[in-house]
Amino acid sequence: METIKQLLLALGLLGSPVDHPPTPCLGSCKPSPAAIGVIKHFEGYSPVRYQDAAGYDTIGFGHLIRPGEKIPEPLLGEAAERLLQQDITPKAAAVNAHASVPIIQGQSDAVVSWTYNLGEGSLKGSTMRKKINAERHEEVPAPLKRWNKAGGRVLKGLERRREAEAALYKLRWYCVVTVSRAHRGRHETGGGLSHQHPRGGLTG
């Protein structure tokens, strides 16, 4: 738990402790700066295309370059942020669509980051989703953290990302600030496996 608090504090995303539970949402949760900050941290940022841990062409904050897609290079500033928002929007929508019970901000943020990395299809069929909808929230971190492999091997970056997301899911009593700092940290090795390529090489 301290790890995610330290990460959010380092990114300028964590406010003061609060003494009341957060308000849950159902079907209308929006990613907070914490979700965006965690995604940026683990995806890393590159203004030019590179190959991710699974060998797929990627740019910006873990955006998979689709066949025929043309993205001006270098991808900088507002253009990179817009592309990130375009990629996050369907992931957040999928979380809202597949969560049939109210969830709180930290839970939503954790699952949005997970889905950004692994895709909507993985969310829909996951044990994690079943645990959420059964309101067995204490059991969610275990299946969430199983998805730490690419090409059949465990990646340390994915392990760290899953640990951070699991901790964020359990984070209840701290408020998240409303304005995030732009984060341009280095890649977490393996933690930024492109979120939109076919998931055949990812296992949980």
The 3-class secondary structure across 110-131, one letter per residue, is HHHHHHHHHCHHHHHCCHHHHH
Tokens 């977490």 correspond to what residue? Answer: 188
Length of the chain: 204
Compute the distance between CA of residue 197 and CA of residue 58 in angstroms, rounded to an integer: 10
Maximum CA pair distance of the chain? Answer: 51
Nearest CA to 99 among 60, 126, 71, 64? 126
Please tell me the number of Cα atoms within 13 Å of 134 on its side-chain side.
Answer: 10
Given 2, 43, 69, 73, which residue is catalytic? Answer: 43
43 is catalytic: yes
Provide the edge-to-edge strand list for the sheet that holds 57-60: 46-51, 57-60, 63-64
Compute the distance between CA of residue 96 and CA of residue 120 in angstroms, rounded to an integer: 11
Other CB atoms closer than 10 Å to residue 159's CB: what's the count? 16
Active site amino acids? 43
